[in-house]
């Protein structure tokens, strides 16, 4: 029972961590809580269903399931990144030098817009993920794991490792760290700030798209309103780990997933959604810098 | 050319959701509306707006007089809407104290609104109190809730405060939804009695309108007086620069406490009025969207301006009633409106200094 909940928690936690990375990346560079990030994740989930539907209709899924799933992932990530990129250009870029609350309110506006846009174009009812993936279960030490769970845990860990390498080893990653430290200095040294910010949004949205797709596969249902609650939880994960810190977001996501699944099974499942908020409030009160964050001038 | 390309890009992005045909329509739609905008801007842009001297005192007197004769001019249905507008004005006045005057972005105000409504509902249905005897208790509860939230809020700034208050709002909603033995969960509480004045039941819409209007006038008057007092100036200084305010000897802790509990007080009043008007409350009415909706009202009207708050509430409650056919697009427009407002006119419709 306990181990089972750990596995469930890690599955959900991996997804939270992927979304939390998007928050943390953007916060590290712009000091903006990207309220619309949860909606980007929701769009990712919808895109997965839409593209897989297209590929199935075209006969690709029957021909090769692996290829069609792979293409679904690739297409969703590309289109979702394009959404993140466009949102930044339209709603945040004009407000870069405005008082700090203005971009936040603008982000809330984007979030409302995207949610209703998807509701109007795709309908308010739940969308079902096509049943094309054969799910097998693995029994191990009294714990039942589905192949999807294993896939989600491994994929999210791989993506996190990939992101870490990208940030630490590539030139763009180095530039991102430089911009996060000091924007003015970075631009004086010849780094194109606009480009780096766009890259940040593209990478964050891409990770959110993967998270959305995996959730759609895992639960089988998608609704236009999933972005809001997932966004809040992922934000909590980012704060828990220390906002602005990339390893922090990964740890925070996994920890939050564990807290939630253990809390739901041992305390009360009715208040499952409230745990994230309680954790958030406690963390901000007791240790606002989070588990792995550094304290700084603009941190809470 | 760049703009057309950009519109094409947007249309392309929408294609997975709207289909190829929908995307094409969208492209044509944006192009045409942009063309119309450019044309209009070209035609009217050169006309210089003459500065109209506005006699605010006369205007507000006329407005109040109009509000008094309003129910005689309109149908019952619209009186109902007018009552809703009044309740939202009271709520927005409360939010305005916190967000507009003190600059603390609070995204959980629906919680106070909900606490007010539920306190009224429970006190009148469970304990058999009347509206008037329940009202002071309700206001006490909500002000206490405001104080309670002020503890975490005092330690946080800006966007963190926004998130924590949002979390607080959601926790309250979840409690209302799940604490079945007291709040009856999602079913809500029904049969909330109407208020009595001198043994006379205020059940008629018109009478209720006057009751709520009276509260609006009282609220607007008190908030205005407080705004021009030492406290109000302290709030403004906190909003403009907290460090400087503290350096000038303002006890920022104390004034933030005051702002939050005073704001919650008005939200509680609005909640109590809402409960006794609807005779029914359920957790659904106090969601996150409600909080955002009220914040939108004061942003639209102009942060920190009392006429702005009234104008914002009027527009946001009336617009969906007027544009009934476009109900579905209401929230879509609200989202776009917020973004455009922030980019082009962050100070709101009514500018305050």
The answer for residues whose C-beta is within 8 angstroms of residue B306's C-beta and 6 or more apart is B93, B96, B220, B223, B224, B227
Where b means 16+ CB within 10 Å and e means fewer, A89-99 reads bebbebbeeee
Distance in angstroms (rounded) separating the CA atoms of residues B121 and B129: 10
Overall pTM surpassing 0.95 (yes/no): no
A33 near B CB under 8 A: yes
Q: Does A123 touch chain B (CB under 8 A)?
A: no
A90 touches chain B (CB under 8 A): yes
The DSSP annotation for B204-252 comes to SHHHHHHHHHHHHHHHHHHHHHHHTSHHHHHHHHHHH-HHHHHHTT--H
Cα separations in angstroms, A190 against A168, A179, A184, A206, A285: 19, 11, 10, 26, 39
**Number of C-alpha atoms within 13 angstroms, CB side, residue B330?**
17
- Which tens digit of pLDDT belongs to each residue from A146-194? 888 888 889 888 999 999 899 889 999 999 888 888 888 888 998 899 9
Looking at the structure of chain A, the number of domains it has is: 1
Please check the confidence at residue B277 and state whether its pLDDT lies above 60: yes
Q: What is the CA radius of gyration of chain A?
A: 19
Q: How far, in Å, are A229, A237, A239, A241, B68 from residue A292 at the CA level?
A: 24, 12, 10, 5, 60
Token pair recorded at residue B177: 């939804």
Answer yes or no: do A105 and B299 touch at CB < 8 A: yes
In the numeric block, the tokens 């006057």 are attached to B210
Rg (CA), chain B: 22
Using CA coordinates, name the residue in chain B closest to A243.
B160
| Interfacial B residues in 271-310 facing A (CB < 8 Å) | 288, 292, 295, 299
Q: What is the pLDDT confidence band of residue A200, given thresholds at 50, 70 and 90? A: very high
Rounded to an integer, the average pLDDT of B140-160 is 81
Averaged pLDDT, B109-113: 90
Name the CATH topology of B56-344.
Answer: ABC transporter involved in vitamin B12 uptake, BtuC (1.10.3470)
Q: Using an 8 Å CB-CB cutoff, list chain B residues near A46.
A: 16-17
Confidence of residue B353 (pLDDT cuts 50, 70, 90): very low
Nearest CA to CA, how far is A112 from chain B (Å)?
5
Window A:140-179, CB contacts with B under 8 Å: none
Residues of chain B in contact with residue A28, where contact means CB-CB under 8 angstroms, are: none
Backbone angles phi, psi at A262, to 5 degrees: -70, -40
Report the pLDDT value the prediction gives residue A293, as an integer from 0 to 100. 66
- Contact partners, residue A167, CB within 8 Å, separation at least 6: A173, A176, A177, A246
Q: Which of A300, A288, A289 is nearest to B156 (CA)?
A: A300
Is A279 part of any domain?
no
% of chain A at pLDDT higher than 70? 97
Q: How many helices (H) and strands (E) does chain B have?
A: 14, 4
Per-residue confidence (pLDDT) for residue B51, from 0 to 100: 58
**Closest residue of chain A to B176, computed from CA coordinates:** A271
Judged by a CB distance cut-off of 8 A, whether residue A278 touches chain B is yes
Chain A, nearest residue to B100 by Cα? A101
- In a domain, residue A197? The reply is yes
- Residues A246, A17: Cα–Cα separation, whole Å: 10
B160 in reach of chain A (CB within 8 A): yes
Q: Is residue A53 a part of any domain in this protein?
A: yes
Instruction: Supply the mean pLDDT for chain B.
Output: 83
Do the domain assignments include residue A268? no
DSSP B194: P
pLDDT of B52: 60
User: Residue A134 in 3-state DSSP?
Assistant: coil
CA distance B277 to chain A (A): 29
Q: Which of B156, B162, B343 sits opposite A104 (nearest CB)?
A: B162
Minimal CA separation from B120 to chain A, in Å: 25
Domain-embedded: residue A267: no
Rounded Cα–Cα distance for residues B283 and B117 (Å): 10
Q: Which positions 99-128 of B are in contact with A (Cβ < 8 Å)?
A: 103, 105
For A141, the 3-state DSSP assignment is: coil
Q: Nearest chain A residue to B158 by CA: give it.
A: A101
- Structural domain boundaries enclosing A52: 12-224
CA distance A103 to chain B (A): 7
pLDDT at A205 over 90: yes
Cα B33 to Cα A91, A109, A140, B331: the distances in Å are 19, 21, 61, 20
CA atoms within 13 A on the CB side of B307: 11
Residues of chain B neighbouring A120 (CB-CB closer than 8 A): 328-329, 332
List pLDDT tens digits, range B220-230. 899 989 999 99
Chain A, chain B: beta-carbon pairs less than 8 Å apart: 135
Looking at residue A203, what is its pLDDT? 92
Q: Do A47 and B337 touch (CB under 8 A)?
A: no
Residues in a beta bridge with A138: A145
Chain A contacts in chain B segment 196-215 (CB below 8 A): none
Interface test with B, best of A28, A100, A113, A123 (most B CBs within 10 A): A113
């Amino acid at each position: 029972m306990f181990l089972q909940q750990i596995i469930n928690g890690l599955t959900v936690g991996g997804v939270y961590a992927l979304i939390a990375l998007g928050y943390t990346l953007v916060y590290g560079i712009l000091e903006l809580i990207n309220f619309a990030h949860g909606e980007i994740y929701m769009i990712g989930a919808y895109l997965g269903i839409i593209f897989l539907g297209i590929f199935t209709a075209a006969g690709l899924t029957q021909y090769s399931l692996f290829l069609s799933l792979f293409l679904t992932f690739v297409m969703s990530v590309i289109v979702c990144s394009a959404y993140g990129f466009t949102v930044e250009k339209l709603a945040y870029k004009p407000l870069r030098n405005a008082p700090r609350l203005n971009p936040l309110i603008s982000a809330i506006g984007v979030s409302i817009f995207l949610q209703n846009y998807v509701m109007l174009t795709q309908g308010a009812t739940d969308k079902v993920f096509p049943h094309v993936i054969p799910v097998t279960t693995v029994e191990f030490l009294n714990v039942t794991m589905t192949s999807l769970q294993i896939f989600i845990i491994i994929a999210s860990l791989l993506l996190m490792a990939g992101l870490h390498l990208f940030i630490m080893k590539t030139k763009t990653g180095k530039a991102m760290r430089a911009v996060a430290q000091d924007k003015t200095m970075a631009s004086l040294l010849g780094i194109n700030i606009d480009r780096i910010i766009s890259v940040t949004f593209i990478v964050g949205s891409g990770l959110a798209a993967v998270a959305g797709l995996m959730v759609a596969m895992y639960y089988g249902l998608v609704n236009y309103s999933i972005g809001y609650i997932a966004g809040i939880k992922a934000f909590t994960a980012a704060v828990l780990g220390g906002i602005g810190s990339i390893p922090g977001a990964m740890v925070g996501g996994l920890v939050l997933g564990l807290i939630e699944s253990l809390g739901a099974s041992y305390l009360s499942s009715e208040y499952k959604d409230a745990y994230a908020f309680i954790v958030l409030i406690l963390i901000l009160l007791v240790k606002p810098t989070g588990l792995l964050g550094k304290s700084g001038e603009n941190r809470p | 050319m760049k703009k057309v390309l950009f519109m094409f890009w947007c249309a392309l992005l929408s294609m997975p959701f709207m289909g190829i045909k929908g995307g094409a329509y969208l492209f044509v739609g944006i192009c045409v509306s942009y063309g119309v905008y450019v044309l209009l801007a070209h035609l009217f842009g050169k006309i210089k707006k003459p500065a109209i001297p506005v006699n605010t005192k006369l205007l507000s007197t006329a407005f109040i007089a109009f509000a008094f004769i309003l129910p005689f001019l309109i149908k019952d249905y619209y009186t109902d809407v007018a009552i809703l507008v009044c309740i939202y004005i009271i709520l927005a006045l409360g939010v305005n104290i916190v967000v507009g005057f003190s600059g603390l972005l609070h995204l959980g105000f629906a919680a106070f609104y909900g606490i007010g409504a539920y306190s009224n509902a429970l006190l009148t249905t469970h304990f058999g109190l009347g509206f008037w005897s329940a009202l002071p208790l309700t206001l006490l509860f909500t002000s206490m809730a405001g104080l309670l939230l002020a503890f975490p809020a005092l330690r946080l700034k800006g966007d963190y405060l926004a998130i924590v208050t949002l979390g607080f709002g959601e926790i309250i909603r979840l409690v209302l939804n799940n604490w079945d033995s007291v709040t009856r969960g999602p079913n809500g509480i029904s049969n909330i009695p109407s208020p009595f004045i001198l043994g006379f039941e205020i059940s008629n819409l018109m009478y209720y309108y006057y009751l709520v209007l009276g509260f609006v006038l009282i609220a607007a008057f008190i908030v205005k007086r407080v705004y021009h007092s030492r406290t109000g100036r302290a709030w403004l200084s906190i909003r403009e620069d907290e460090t400087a305010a503290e350096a000038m000897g303002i006890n920022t802790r104390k004034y933030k406490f005051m702002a939050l509990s005073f704001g919650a007080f008005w939200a509680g009043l609005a909640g109590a009025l809402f409960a006794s008007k609807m005779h029914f409350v359920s957790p659904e009415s106090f969601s996150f969207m409600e909080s955002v909706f009220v914040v939108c009202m004061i942003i639209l009207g102009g942060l920190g301006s009392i006429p702005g708050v009234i104008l914002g509430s009027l527009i946001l409650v009336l617009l969906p009633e007027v544009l009934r056919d476009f109900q579905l697009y209401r929230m879509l427009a609200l989202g776009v409106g917020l973004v455009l407002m922030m980019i082009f006119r962050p100070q709101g419709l009514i500018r305050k200094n």
